Amino acid sequence: MAAMTGPAGRSIDDIHWWRGAVIYQIYPRSFRDSSGDGVGDLPGILERLDHVASLGVDAIWISPFFKSPMADFGYDIADYRAVDPLFGTLEDFDRLLARAHALGLRVVIDQVLSHTSEAHAWFQESRASRDNPKADWYVWADARPDGTPPNNWLSLFGGGAWQWEPRRGQYYLHNFLASQPDLNFHHPDVREATLHNVRFWLARGVDGLRLDAINFCFHDALLRDNPPKPPELRTGRGFSPDNPYAFQYHHHNNTQPENLRFLEELRRLLDAFPGATTLGEISSEDSLATMAEYVDDRRLHMGYSFELLTDDYSAAYIRDTAQRLESTMREGWPCWAISNHDVRRAVSRWGPRAGDGAPDDPAFAAMLIALVCSLRGSVCLYQGEELGLGESDVPFDALQDPYGIAFWPTFKGRDGCRTPMPWDEGRHAGFSDGTPWLPVDPAHAARSVALQDADPGSVLNATRRLLRWRRTQPALVAGDITWCDSDEPVLAFVRGSGDKRLLVAFNLWSAAATWPLPAEFGELRPLDGHGLRSGCIADRALILPPFATFYGQLG
């Protein structure tokens, strides 16, 4: 592929472009509908790529758009090489890819490797009998003598992880929905077929793969029971509080040692396409330790977990999480996210813990973006974060997510973070001329792209200023990180090394805070204009208004 020039004029024709990159996640169903059927599509993304490029991000990550029955909205794939007609055509994807590259945007696509849809041709053949060519391509097991499933494994979406199949007289494994059977990665033909599918998209020109639930590819071949977890430790990341999945240590249904060898096979394939990268989603009993094991020069390029996608919001928690990862991930490169399509949006999740008025304060939303973009590593921003969008309250009769429907009313599922993107003041906030698949939140319409574009003090324009400025700061893109001692609610650290060091500080709370500057800092030159609310220096102390951001050049 020819060299590309990014929005700020920086060449990004570099095999390490992903180090320190800001990746903008697009959830296609909710981004922009060009056809009027109420569901976003690939031509709709193409229509709005200029907005994404205007932010100053380096890449887009597009959630699944492949052929699917949509039981889990595309994370149940029926054909890995086909675009679902709901989203457009393969030619639409090619046009989108070409336009993104022309704008200087890399393109990362989701790959869901651990399981397929039950509608996939592989599974249709596998379920038909015990002696067909694909009989062992999925995880099949006999019932116990009393007819119950072979072990106690549970599905993330509630209930047992085994589904009876009368045609074979066996159970099959599903770590997610019953309509998402797990592939048997112990079978070499499965691994080979999976890599062929990945190669198809790499050869088409994509720049990277976001690997969904990548630690779920292998299961314990002996099908041993998972041990119980004590009640006081049943705190799942991103799960419903009453989900029985949290009742077990998941030692045997995911994160098996054989997965490391498969990741090395996958990396060898990626290395044949210089500049192509991998970003693994990792959720295990110790996700940070698993990330450190999975991310290095032989396996994944980057990894991220749910540690900053939880309800925990304090300077101590954020610092301790990042420090723990830094202490274990000696060779790898982390990626951070505070919002995505699976969890409550950050301004709603963390706002009540940040003090009165936080979710409605633009400075709070802008500060959160600055925070995640200042940590050492790459960054995933979720569509709408640049607008400061909060979680939508979707009524039960409008819910689409099977997870939320199953656990209502104690857990409302993931629809609240997936409602349509607000573009303007028109019908359905400019998302669609038809009836949207999820209702448009009136509060979101009041924060549309068009309205914020015209407001210099908006979250949108603060995000643009920050990301453009960040590109000019090597210390923030790829520099080292050293953490400072600070009391709540101040989070402070130094990025870079030698004479190119930046002090970065945030006030996470709705009241003003003061932080005495360490004596060893010496000269400190404030760098202003990169947030909606900035701190200042007075009498060798950093004065931080509510939700303030501070960057300073250390002498």
Q: Which positions are annotated as active-site residues?
A: 212, 281
Instruction: Give, as one character, the DSSP assignment of residue 480.
Output: -
Nearest of 61, 60, 63, 35 to residue 50 by alpha carbon: 60
Question: Which tokens in the block code for residue 515?
Answer: 């932080």
Angle between helical axes of 287-294 and 315-328 (0-180°, round to 10)? 30
With b for 16 or more beta-carbon neighbours within 10 A and e for fewer, the 218-245 pattern comes to bbbeebeebeebeeeebebbbbbeebeb
Distance of alpha carbon 136 from alpha carbon 140, whole angstroms: 7
Q: Which amino acid is at 248?
A: Q
Q: Quick check: 424 and 448 in contact, CB under 8 A?
A: yes
Distance of alpha carbon 118 from alpha carbon 407, whole angstroms: 23
- Tally the C-alpha atoms within 13 A of residue 23's C-alpha that lie toward its C-beta: 35
Q: Quick check: 127 and 120 in contact, CB under 8 A?
A: no
Distance of alpha carbon 359 from alpha carbon 313, whole angstroms: 14
Helix count and strand count (H, E) for the chain: 15, 21
Task: Give me the helices (H) in 390-515, please.
Answer: 402-407, 442-445, 449-453, 459-471, 474-478
Q: Which SS3 state, helix, strand or coil, does residue 14 take?
A: coil
Give me the sign of the Cα torsion angle 56, 8, 372, 264: positive
Distance of alpha carbon 224 from alpha carbon 265, whole angstroms: 27
Q: 317: part of which helix (H) or strand (E)?
A: helix 315-328
What spatial distance separates the first Cα and last Cα of the chain, rounded to whole Å? 41
Alpha carbon of 394 to those of 397, 413, 453: distances in Å? 8, 10, 27
Q: Which amino acid is at 501?
A: R
